[in-house]
Amino acid sequence: MRPVSSRTSPLLALVALTLIWSSNWIVMKLAMLYSGPFEFSALRYAGGTAALFLVLRLRGENLAPPPLVPTLVIGLAQTTGFTALAQWALVQGGAGKTALLVYTMPFWTVLLAWAWLRERLRATQIASLVLAAFGLLLIMQPWKAHVDLRSAGLAVAGGVSWAIGTVAAKRLFVRQGTVLSPLRLTAWQMLTGTAFLIALAWFVPERPVSWAPGFIAALAFNIVLASGVAWTLWLVVVQRLPAGIAGLSSLAIPVTGVLLAWGLLGERPDAAEGLGMVVVAAALVLLLRASSRRR
């Protein structure tokens, strides 16, 4: 039964991540009606960090910090860089389109994993990578003049930052083995990254927060689910799967995010974007089949 569990656990984590993170793009976009991007990010992760350390305490897990330098790198990339850049992109960019641009992350992850971790890609995995790249190209449509380059650039930069954190976490798990739990690393990297988010919110002028019920609800969703539970699930996936596969398989999240943005915010994709989503979904199926055979 153990081999079956090793295959299904990260896949179940990916399903949960898809539901949480895809819907959270809508929540984060709506939160910008009440707050600036950096202050919302700082509040979100301050609460998420506190919640994770409380869970660690209640579970009786080791509270000792992981190795300082890798944890700092992961925190700066995965919490500070990714969160601030993605949230900033949402100020002017649509929720669905921003999600898709941020999720260029898998391609950066594959390149970094190849260069940094020496992970080898099989032919089927390479084919899924090419297919997914073509799908995202159709969705992003960089040839159109109306593309918001500033918002798009911020979103892509957020994806690069996330990829750096993902590969750094994978490398740390390889070195630490079972000594380091995903929950403990999540809490400590979030603590270091949140400190920089607070500094960013302090020094960058933004409009005052409006503590309306909608903002409180968005903040609660982010603290409990998107910042605490989901990041722990993500590191479980990173720990159990090769970094490239973990990154590519998460493409289900932006596709779902686009559909939610279409249904809830009226961000309707055109014909090229719709075709791109189908192509990306096909790439995801191909990748997951390759992952299953490999394991």
DSSP for the chain, written as a single string: -HHHHHHHHHHHHHHHHHHHHHHHHHHHHHHTTTS-HHHHHHHHHHHHHHHHHHHHHHHT-------HHHHHHHIIIIIIIHHHHHHHHTTTS-HHHHHHHHTTHHHHHHHHIIIII-----HHHHHHHHHHHHHHHHHH-TTSTT--HHHHHHHHHHHHHHHHHHHHHHHHHHHHGGGS-HHHHHHHHHHHHHHHHHHHHHHS--PPP---HHHHHHHHHIIIIIIIIHHHHHHHHHHHS-HHHHHHHTTHHHHHHHHHHHHHH-----HHHHHHHHHHHHHHHHHHHHHHHH-
The number of residues making up the chain comes to 295
Please tell me the predicted confidence (pLDDT) of residue 164.
Answer: 94
Report whether 25 contacts 158 (CB < 8 A): no
Of 32-41, 56-65, 102-111, 245-254, give the range with the top mean pLDDT: 32-41
- In the predicted structure, residue 153 carries a pLDDT above the cut 80: yes
DSSP notation for 252-268: HHHHHHHHHHHHHH---
Alpha-carbon separation of residue 281 from 16, 72, 102, 257 (angstroms): 17, 34, 17, 13
Rg for the chain (alpha carbons), in Å? 18
Mean pLDDT taken over the chain: 83
- In the predicted structure, residue 65 carries a pLDDT above the cut 70: yes
- In the predicted structure, residue 285 carries a pLDDT above the cut 60: yes
How many CA atoms are closer than 13 Å to the CA of 269, on its beta-carbon side? 27
Mean pLDDT over 126-130 rounds to 84
Please tell me the predicted confidence (pLDDT) of residue 198.
Answer: 96
Q: How many CB atoms lie within 10 A of CB 210?
A: 10
Please tell me the predicted confidence (pLDDT) of residue 215.
Answer: 95
Mean pLDDT over 197-220 rounds to 94
- In the predicted structure, residue 187 carries a pLDDT above the cut 50: yes
Please tell me the predicted confidence (pLDDT) of residue 101.
Answer: 83
Please tell me the predicted confidence (pLDDT) of residue 89.
Answer: 93
> Binning pLDDT at 50, 70 and 90, where does residue 1 land?
very low
For 270-283, write each residue's pLDDT tens digit: 788 788 878 887 88
- In the predicted structure, residue 163 carries a pLDDT above the cut 60: yes
**Is the four-CA dihedral 44, 46, 47, 50 of positive or negative sign?**
positive
Please tell me the predicted confidence (pLDDT) of residue 20.
Answer: 92
> Binning pLDDT at 50, 70 and 90, where does residue 145 land?
low
Mean pLDDT over 17-37 rounds to 92
- In the predicted structure, residue 170 carries a pLDDT above the cut 60: yes
Please tell me the predicted confidence (pLDDT) of residue 71.
Answer: 94
